[in-house]
């Protein structure tokens, strides 16, 4: 899908969110105004390393970008199995330092840079992120989150403590993947299967969801309660819709409880990066835990982060090049 | 596999542990001395309801049991999708009351009874067991556990608080199934895959296992640490063997922590019902949590329970029949 607006030829930056399953490219002017967008399924998972350059150039040509527009990329394209490995920066790190760590190179004659991921090099709890660091830069520069907690729900939810514009600490919870596995492969699949064909997403106002968030928040036994979803179906004939709400509540509640140390008692602002029903579930769960989170769309956060990164990285490069000139 | 000893014709009871994947039958004399054993893969999962009677009779004939030997059965044969449904008894319940709740019927001219499961009918945390109740009866009568905690690890671990010979409370943890799913289907599969072909079981003395039990016991963040198994492989090149030990430690540690309320601070004796490496992992984890568990083989517990159940059920029946006789 390519959306061309009136002046792609005036584009100053190309910004690319290049994940495992998707590629999204924006053309913007110098101020970040969007001149064109292109989305495709050309994610890292579908490409060999030698295919990235061609896919990017074809996309930019389709969008009408001039051949000298530089490209800032974040996400799995920078993983070891991606286009070029952009090594992890070590946490803690200032968000505005990250663009300087982006790896720059030329491709089809244009300047390309890939943002680094961030690593928590702790032997007791190592962790990594790749892509979220750019959203965090966007939250800090575009949405005022220089101190607080970013809650980034998904297959692997990231929770990040930001302090004075730095990634102070972060943790990954495999909540989305656990939910998918438990509903597809475990004994809970019967109690959570969609018998009605469609799968209505769980709602953050569902009393079954809220009750199970509460159960998991009240005790450290979130894991020990999972089987109650099966037993509730056996003993009480609980509906699959309620099974999904219960499972979702238990997992998200256990996630919150497990992250109590990272979040802290007075975390400052909490920003959920996401949209739709998943964001509303985390909003409801965080409210139940006594917080007042705000929501920022993931797409908005990553675009703001890529724009900030492009400005910092390419401006510095240009300045350096000018200085180096005789 | 059928093991005939010298006097199957003198058998007084047939005792059958009939689970989802296996059928194990013992012939014993009146005192419980084993006269023969037969094990097969004729579990509930492989049989239609109308096949159970024939499979049992063929097994008993193969073992040389007389046609008047009564049979006490426990396990999934009593589930709704098994041979005949033996309805759940409600928790709390005295263990010695359970045999009276067994459903009795005739099959090929012999008396057969199937032990009931036990249900925890609590809307906030419903739970069920089927088969473990018979092991608990065996622990109480044959191994002196009338007060304390039974830890029954497996695909779905059961933890049971026994007080004055009653099932006072219990909970199911899906730890074994979570471990299997995470090592087979999740992003952790790479970090836990056996590259050497064989899968050496995790050992309870493995320092990586113990460190991760400790992490999970020290905080409620067991779930929030799962991803560290992946990150440890990415960042530190952790071996798959260590990945399995870490995952096993995190899950068992989180299980223990999640069951803190059920176990209590002064639980009395703790008996692990199991054998081999799994029992040794739970033993090590419980020791780390400050307890001194003992171990009883699951096979010994279920046989002792079936024997006690057969005595209580069939003797009562015989007595009742004699009383009813003119």
CB pair distance less than 8 Å for B223 and A172: no
Please give the DSSP secondary-structure letter assigned to residue A93.
E
The pLDDT tens digits for B239-289 are 999 999 999 999 999 999 889 889 988 899 999 999 999 999 999 999 999
Nearest to B223 among A125, A227, A255 (CB): A255
Nearest residue of A to residue B211, measured between CA atoms? A124
**Which chain A residue is nearest to residue B213, measuring alpha carbons?**
A124
Global pTM exceeds 0.80: yes
pLDDT tens-place string over residues B191-211: 998 765 557 889 999 999 999
Residue A290 has a CB neighbour count (10 Å cut-off) of: 8
| Residues A182, B181: C-beta atoms closer than 8 Å | yes
Of B172, B181, B221, the CB nearest to A258: B221
**Residue B319 C-alpha, separation from nearest chain A C-alpha, in angstroms:** 34
With CA atoms as reference, the chain A residue closest to B229 would be: A126
What is the structure's pLDDT at B198? 55
Cβ atoms < 10 Å from Cβ of B147: 16
Residue A1, pLDDT score? 47
pLDDT tens track, chain A, 326 positions: 455 455 567 899 999 999 999 999 999 999 999 999 999 999 999 999 999 999 999 999 999 999 999 999 999 999 999 999 999 999 999 999 999 999 999 999 999 999 999 999 988 899 999 999 999 999 999 999 999 999 999 999 999 999 999 999 999 999 999 999 999 999 999 999 876 555 788 999 999 999 999 999 987 666 779 999 999 999 998 999 999 999 999 999 999 988 988 998 889 999 999 999 999 999 999 999 999 999 999 999 999 999 999 999 998 666 665 555 55
State the smallest CA–CA distance between residue A232 and chain B in angstroms: 6
pLDDT band at B10 (very low <50, low <70, confident <90, very high): confident
| B107-135 per-position pLDDT tens digit | 999 999 999 999 999 888 999 999 999 99
Bridge-partner residues for B71, per DSSP?
A: B14, B112
Which residues partner with B162 through β-bridges? B148, B167
Residues of A in contact with B255 (CB under 8 A): 223-224
Q: Do A174 and B187 touch (CB under 8 A)?
A: yes
Q: How far is A37 from chain B (nearest CA, A)?
A: 31
DSSP strand pairing (A294-296 vs A270-273):
parallel
Would you mind telling me the total number of residues written for chain B in this entry?
326
Cβ separation B215–A124 shorter than 8 A: yes
Contact B234 A187 (CB under 8 A): no
Q: Please state the length of chain A.
A: 326
What pLDDT is attached to residue B1?
47
Helix (H) or strand (E) holding B272: strand B270-273
User: Which of B30, B250, B176, B195 has the alpha carbon at shortest distance from A174?
Assistant: B250
Which pairing describes strands B89-90 and A93-94: parallel, antiparallel, or unpaired?
A: unpaired
- CA A223 to chain B, closest CA, distance in angstroms equals 7
Q: Do B182 and A185 touch (CB under 8 A)?
A: no
Which residues in chain B are closer than 8 Å to A149, comparing Cβ atoms?
Answer: none
Cβ count near A3 (within 10 Å): 13
How close A68 gets to chain B, by Cα (Å)? 36
Å from B249 to nearest chain A CA? Answer: 13
Specify the pLDDT at position A81.
92
B96 — pLDDT class (breaks 50, 70, 90): very high
CB contact under 8 A, A228 and B125: yes
The Cβ of residue A97 has, within 10 Å, a number of other Cβ atoms equal to: 15
Q: Whole-angstrom Cα distance, residue B12 to residue B306?
A: 13
Most B CBs within 10 A among A221, A222, A233, A246, hence the mutation to make, goes to: A221
Question: What is the predicted pLDDT for the residue at A315?
Answer: 83
Return the bridge partners of B74, or none.
B17
CA trace torsion A103, A18, A43, A197 (10° rounding): 150
The DSSP string of A263-285 is H-SS---EEEE--HHHHHHHHHH
Q: Under an 8 A CB cutoff, do B227 and A255 touch?
A: no
C-alpha closest to that of A253 among B182, B126, B223: B223
- How confident is the model at residue A163, as a pLDDT? 97
Q: How confident is the model at residue B218 (pLDDT cuts 50, 70, 90)?
A: confident
What strands, in cross-sheet order, belong to the sheet with A110-114?
A2-4, A34-40, A23-28, A13-18, A71-74, A110-114, A103-107
A–B interface: beta-carbon pairs under 8 A: 150
**Would you say A99 and A309 are in contact if contact means Cβ atoms under 8 Å apart?**
yes
B178 contacts in A (CB within 8 Å)? 178, 186, 223
Q: Closest to A236 (Cβ–Cβ): which among B126, B215, B231?
A: B126
List the helix and strand counts (H, then E) for chain B: 12, 16
Pick A185's closest partner by Cβ from B119, B185, B258: B185
A126 vs B236: CB contact, 8 Å cut-off? yes
Quickly list DSSP for A111-167. EEEE---EEE--SSS-EEESSHHHHHHHHHHHS--SSEEEEE-STTEEEEEEETTEE
Whole-angstrom CA distances from B271 to A40, B117, B149 are 57, 20, 6
B224/A172 Cβ within 8 A: yes
Q: Which residues of B touch A225 (CB under 8 A)?
A: 125, 171, 258
Indicate yes or no: CB of B260 within 8 angstroms of CB of A235: no
């Amino acid at each position: 899908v390519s959306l061309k607006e009136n002046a792609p030829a005036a584009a100053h930056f190309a910004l690319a969110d290049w994940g495992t399953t998707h590629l999204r490219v924006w053309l913007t002017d110098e101020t970040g105004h969007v001149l064109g967008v292109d989305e495709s399924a050309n994610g890292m998972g579908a490409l060999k390393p030698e295919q990235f350059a061609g896919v990017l150039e074809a996309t930019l040509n389709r969008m009408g970008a001039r051949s000298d527009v530089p490209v800032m990329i974040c996400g799995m394209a920078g993983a070891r199995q991606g286009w070029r490995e952009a090594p992890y920066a070590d946490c803690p790190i200032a968000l505005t330092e990250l663009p300087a760590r982006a790896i720059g190179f030329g491709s089809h004659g244009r300047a390309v840079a890939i943002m680094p991921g961030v690593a928590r090099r702790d032997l007791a709890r190592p962790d990594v992120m790749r892509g979220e660091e750019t959203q965090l830069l966007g939250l800090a520069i575009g949405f005022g989150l220089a101190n607080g907690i970013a809650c980034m729900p998904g297959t692997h939810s990231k929770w990040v403590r930001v302090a004075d514009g730095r990634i102070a600490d972060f943790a990954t919870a495999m909540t989305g993947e656990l939910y998918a596995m438990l509903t597809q492969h475990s004994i809970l699949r019967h109690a959570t299967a969609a018998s009605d064909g469609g799968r209505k997403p769980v709602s953050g106002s569902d009393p079954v969801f809220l009750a199970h968030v509460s159960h998991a928040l009240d005790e450290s036994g979130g894991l020990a309660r999972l089987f109650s979803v099966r037993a509730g179906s056996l003993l009480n004939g609980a509906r699959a819709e309620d099974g999904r709400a219960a499972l979702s509540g238990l997992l998200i509640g256990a996630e919150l409880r497990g992250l109590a140390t990272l979040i802290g008692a007075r975390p400052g602002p909490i920003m959920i990066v996401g949209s739709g029903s998943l964001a509303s579930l985390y909003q409801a769960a965080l409210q139940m835990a006594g917080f007042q989170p705000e929501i920022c769309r993931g797409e908005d956060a990553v675009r703001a982060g890529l724009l900030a990164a492009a400005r910092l990285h390419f401006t510095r490069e240009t300045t350096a090049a000018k200085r180096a000139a005789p």
